[in-house]
Amino acid sequence: MQGRTTRPRSAAIPRRVGEAAEVNYGKPAAPDFGPLARDRIPVRAMIEGDVRALIEIDRRITGRDRTAYFRAKLDEALHESDVRISLVAEQDGGAVGFIMARVDFGEFGRVEAVAVLDTIGVDPDYRDQGIGRALLSQLLINLMTLRVERLRTEVDWREGELLAYLDRCGFLPAHMLSFDCAIVPNEA
């Protein structure tokens, strides 16, 4: 047969199981932290000027004024942390979502670097547009760059919507139990 070329066997099909040319479809997929959301929605590092927008977004979500909490968290994120990882998402010329996190270099006897997700919020007018996914996606990429291998958070078990969101984003219950001890009796 003239004009027909054949490829060497080594370039076409692996000879043995496990050869480099073989595609292993049983391996877990490489981390994909939502590149489409991250590419569509501008996400940037949090700055001091964001505090009013964060407080307003949180007020719209929770119905409470947590100004002192956000001022303290923002101060911690910007001035007390060696690594700034808290982020803000913008749309229509303003902040529409945020994620506040920090890196701990050991706690409770562990010496591994672990990121802690403190707060995440998306303006209710911008829900279901991928804002939260873009924020979390960018945070995870930043943490991978820092070689942080784990992200932890705590959620009130009654926060069904937030639990469902975290589940969709790949969070699982930790292998640790968290315990509380009331110092002041709770008056119900």
Number of compact structural domains in the chain: 1
Q: In whole angstroms, what is the distance from residue 15 CA to residue 170 CA?
A: 37
48's tokens: 């001091």
Per-residue pLDDT of the chain (188 residues; tens, 9 = 90+): 555 555 444 455 556 555 555 555 565 555 555 555 566 889 999 999 999 999 999 999 999 999 999 999 888 888 876 677 899 999 988 999 999 998 876 666 666 778 889 899 999 999 989 999 999 999 999 998 888 888 888 888 888 888 888 888 888 888 777 777 888 876 65
153's tokens: 């958070």
The per-residue b/e assignment along 48-87, b for 16 or more CB within 10 angstroms, e otherwise, is: eebbebbbbbbeeeeeeeeeeebeebbeebbeeeeebbbb
Which of these, 168, 89, 87, 159, lies nearest to 122 by C-alpha position?
Answer: 89
pTM over cut 0.75? no
CATH number at residue 49: 3.40.630.30
Q: In whole angstroms, what is the distance from residue 114 CA to residue 148 CA?
A: 6
Residue 139 lies in a domain: yes
Residue 17 lies in a domain: no
Q: In whole angstroms, what is the distance from residue 89 CA to residue 99 CA?
A: 9
Q: In whole angstroms, what is the distance from residue 35 CA to residue 1 CA?
A: 48
Find the domain containing 72 and state its range.
Answer: 30-168
Q: Which residue has the tokens 């969101």?
A: 165
Q: Which amino acid is at 101?
A: A
Residue 8 lies in a domain: no
Q: In whole angstroms, what is the distance from residue 104 CA to residue 86 CA?
A: 14
Residue 118 lies in a domain: yes
